[in-house]
Amino acid sequence: MSGPSATEKGLNQKRTAISLRGLPLVALSFQTLGIIYSDIGTSPLYVLNGIWPSSGPMPSNEDIIGGVSAIIWSLTLLPLLKYVGAVLIFSISTKLRALTQTFISLYFGTREGEGGSFALYQGLYPREEVDVDSDRTLTGDSYLGKERPKHSSLKDKVRWPLLLWCLFGTALTMADGVFTPAVSVTSAVSGIGVAKPSVLGDIVPISVAFLLALFFIQQFGTARLAFTFAPVSFIWFLLLMGTGIYNITLYPGIFRAFDPSRAVMLFVRTKNYDLLAGILLAVTGCEAMFANLGQFNATSIRMSFCIFVYPALILAYLGQGARLIVDGERVLAQVFYNSIPGPVDGPLFWIMFIFAVLATLIASQAMITATFSLVQQIINSKAFPPIRMLYTSETIQGQVYIPAINWILMIATIVMVVVFTNLANLTNAYGFAVSTVMFSTSLLLTIQMRWVKHLPIIVGIGYFLTFGFFDALFWGAALKKVPLGAWVPLLMGGVLLLIMFLWSLEDAFDGQNRMNLRHFIGHTSSQKPNSPISDDDEGMTEEDDTAYYFMTKSRPSSEKGFEPDSIEDRQALQRIPTCAVFHKIASGKGVPHTFIGFVRQWPSLPRVVIFLSVCVVPMARVSAEDRYVVAKVRTIDGFYGVTYYIGFRDKFDVQIQDLIEKICDVERQLNPRISESVLEEIRTVSKTATHIAPHYHVVSKQINVGLISPVVNYIRALLIESIYRRLATMFPETANWLTSADEIIHVGINAVI
């Protein structure tokens, strides 16, 4: 007997983090420049003007040194230590490396290698392992009516609040995918006004044109874009280094900014807390390091930042600070472009301008890609509607392109650019989204240290007091900007939170309402089956004079199964020569609620009934012979549970004739004496198959919370029935199907959530 094939082994694999060494790791690290670090790498375009607007007074030399010091230490404490961790620390000793990993965000990704707020929640409350074999089990009592045990531990009590919080953080990260392109591209294009003041009025149309091109090329995939963008980002960081080093030579005293006391004295001296809102812009994009973890890996992200990106940014900010001290108000109007060495309209200026525009387009790519990754996570976790996802890599499952999200981001970004004509208000909105996500990450990491890493509680408290303190400072400064534009990401996050939370309730309804087939379908027969009815997936061999009925009311019988309370509780079911495929949206045993609704509306049973569940495996493609796994139901002839295995690069395309041949093979295995006429009948009725999917009409259930119940129930009904119900219609359950709409029947079901 031969061993399992490579494909069969792949079907049993689980998705894991990307593991590379040598040149492939270097290549992956190079790709990160074009996807992850372009966002934080373009911050020098607008940070110093975010701290000291051109319309404000000229800061003193000490204030400039203090501001640059605050930028340097923000980059050191947050991106370098909190998210990445220094390479040198990891080379000292194994024990120190293990201790250091405890505090670094990149080591808190899921086992699939994903990062972000939702990945942290999954670390606290892992998804239940999906038993693919149980999806094909349509009978059996052990899973029905069984409530989860109620726990009173603190971890279980805070589950829902933490879910809401991390969903809100995820929603704001997705909102960040709107503001990053808007801020970055507009800032870069505005530089043309330094050399050509006559075109200042055309900045918005030019920015929109660049954004349209950016979102159009997303369909080519992360890998192609990364190799296209990475060389541009590489040159951009070299230009930042070169101009920074040159400007530092004009005022070497700027190195005093490495003294952290200079940053502290800036706020003591000015008592201006709002300066933090501008300094925050220097670390925008650091969340992309964690959110894009599924598209790369921790080692590649760490290598590129520590060795190349971090030094380039430090030199760039030091150089800008030095130039601002030397040239004063002449530079303040547009710090980045006015600090470029040489004449304003010289060759280096236009080289920097071109690469600035290209770099900001690439910077936008960082959060767009991160948004795709986050949406993939929450769809896989059943917390977001099943939007169609296109996998763009043959080797990395995390690299996806989601058309609907891409076009929504494009429209929202262009609206932001057109509406926020004031760049300061746009950066206010941007900073709020970033700071909230950073604070959310710190909170969830702190909880993980205790409940996942099982470290002493003092370790988590120490971590939160350190990094949470800095995050809270930035968040407080951004919160003050809510009236000045930060209300926009707050509103966007609230809407996305509503969709994700209510969709998770709808998906839970689907899973909780699966039923045992024998509890509502019965039969009488002049011929008894060869063996008693059981839960085994073996079946009756031939059609006989069986009469089937639907039990409107049933009770447990003395035998294994259910029986109707009385004759009146039976509704006759006619077997019709057709094939019906019922799609199981939720995983688990039992038949979906769709089938019950179908039988009630059309009291009949198709000759061939297939309950299809889909399993995406962590391999690019699945061979045709391994695509379908079939189990025959013994209780009722002609009923089959099927698992449809597809690779993440395969198209969803159920070939009914291939599936029917697999069913015929199963029939032959179970009954070698089965006649060919029976098999031919199965093939004949299955030449045209109807796909059946649920169409949920969500209804708000009444809850009792005391005296305020009427108010709570009114608000709940307003959100679910008036708002969410309308939004949900935009995301049909068949969004990922390629089957013709003429072959799909939607069975309407009231979903009380």
pLDDT at 525: 64
Amino acid at 496: L
Q: 103-117, 384-398, 640-654 — which one is most confidently predicted on average?
A: 640-654
Asked which of 458-462, 648-652, 658-662 is least confident by mean pLDDT, the reply is 648-652
Token look-up 């019988």 returns 557
- Under the banding of pLDDT at 50, 70 and 90, the label for residue 13 is low
Token look-up 């950016």 returns 214
CB 669: neighbour CB atoms within 10 A? 12
Contact in structure between 214 and 10 (CB atoms under 8 Å): no
Can you tell me the mean pLDDT for 473-486?
Answer: 80
Per cent of the chain over pLDDT 90 is 17
Can you tell me the mean pLDDT for 726-746?
Answer: 67
Per cent of the chain over pLDDT 70 is 78
Asked which of 68-77, 182-191, 380-389 is least confident by mean pLDDT, the reply is 380-389
> Which of 240, 414, 252 lies closest to 339 in space, CA to CA?
240
> DSSP alpha helices (H): ranges in 480-619?
487-512, 593-601
Query: 260-270 and 61-75 are packed helices; what angle lies between their axes, rounded to 10 degrees?
Result: 130
Q: Which residues pair with 617 in a beta bridge?
A: 647
CA 564, 570, 574 angle in degrees (round to 5)? 130
Return all residues near 107 (Cβ < 8 A) that are at least 6 apart.
Answer: 101, 298
Contact in structure between 548 and 578 (CB atoms under 8 Å): no
The better pLDDT of the pair 486, 58 is held by: 58
Quote the tokens at residue 529: 């089956």
Asked which of 313-317, 328-332, 407-411, 616-620 is least confident by mean pLDDT, the reply is 616-620
pLDDT at 2: 37
Q: Which domains does the chain have, with CATH numbers?
A: 24-129+154-507 (1.20.1740.10), 517-752 (no CATH)
> Which of 434, 460, 402 lies closest to 108 in space, CA to CA?
460
Return all residues near 60 (Cβ < 8 A) that are at least 6 apart.
Answer: none
Taking the C-alpha atoms of residue 232 and residue 642, their distance in angstroms, rounded to an integer, is 49
Q: Which residues pair with 579 in a beta bridge?
A: 608, 689
3-state secondary structure of 629: strand
Quote the tokens at residue 212: 């349209």
Taking the C-alpha atoms of residue 188 and residue 139, their distance in angstroms, rounded to an integer, is 62
Phi-psi domain of 485 (left: phi exceeds 0; alpha: psi -120 through 50; beta: other): left
Contact in structure between 489 and 175 (CB atoms under 8 Å): yes
Token look-up 């080379």 returns 91
Backbone angles phi, psi at 148, to 5 degrees: -70, 145
Asked which of 269-273, 424-428, 511-515, 633-637 is least confident by mean pLDDT, the reply is 424-428
Taking the C-alpha atoms of residue 692 and residue 601, their distance in angstroms, rounded to an integer, is 13
Taking the C-alpha atoms of residue 719 and residue 498, their distance in angstroms, rounded to an integer, is 8
Mean of the per-residue pLDDT values of the chain:
78
pLDDT beyond 60 at 553: yes
Can you tell me the mean pLDDT for 730-749?
Answer: 68
Question: How far lies 227's CA from each of 31, 36, 443, in Å?
Answer: 6, 13, 35
Taking the C-alpha atoms of residue 417 and residue 208, their distance in angstroms, rounded to an integer, is 7
* DSSP calls for 503-530: HHHHHHHHHHT-B-GGGTEEEEESS--S
Can you tell me the mean pLDDT for 551-555?
Answer: 68
Taking the C-alpha atoms of residue 468 and residue 157, their distance in angstroms, rounded to an integer, is 23
Q: Which helix (H) or strand (E) holds 335?
A: helix 335-338
CA-based Rg of the chain, rounded to a whole angstrom? Answer: 30
Taking the C-alpha atoms of residue 421 and residue 564, their distance in angstroms, rounded to an integer, is 69
Asked which of 243-257, 542-556, 589-603 is least confident by mean pLDDT, the reply is 542-556
Q: Which residues pair with 401 in a beta bridge?
A: 390
